[in-house]
């Protein structure tokens, strides 16, 4: 357990899908305040298309954020 904590294995891995779902939920709460309904619909459509693409092209549902950081040296 100490070794895992030291090497960073215990770090929470975040994936794209749950983060985007949280973004959708936050945006939905802002409809009529600072966001318009068409903006929410656009974000929702993009979410569906990204998930469909990941399933079709790579046969996966979750993409971990660290993959983006690693590939783009962020």
Cβ neighbours of residue 4 under 8 Å, at least 6 residues apart? 10
Report the C-alpha gap between 47 and 52 in whole angstroms. Answer: 9
Distance of CA 41 to the CA centre of its chain: 17
Q: Output phi, psi for 62, to 5 deg.
A: -105, 130
Predicted confidence band at 8 (pLDDT cuts at 50, 70, 90)? low
pLDDT digits (tens, 9 = 90+) for 11-47: 555 678 888 889 999 999 999 999 999 999 999 999 9
Mean pLDDT of 63-69: 57
């Amino acid at each position: 357990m100490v070794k895992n904590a030291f090497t960073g294995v215990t770090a929470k891995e975040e994936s794209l899908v749950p983060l985007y779902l949280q973004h959708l939920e936050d945006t939905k709460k802002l409809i009529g305040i600072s966001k318009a309904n068409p903006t929410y619909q656009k974000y929702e459509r993009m979410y569906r298309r990204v998930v469909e693409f990941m399933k079709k092209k790579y046969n996966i549902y979750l993409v971990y954020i660290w993959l983006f950081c690693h590939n783009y040296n962020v």
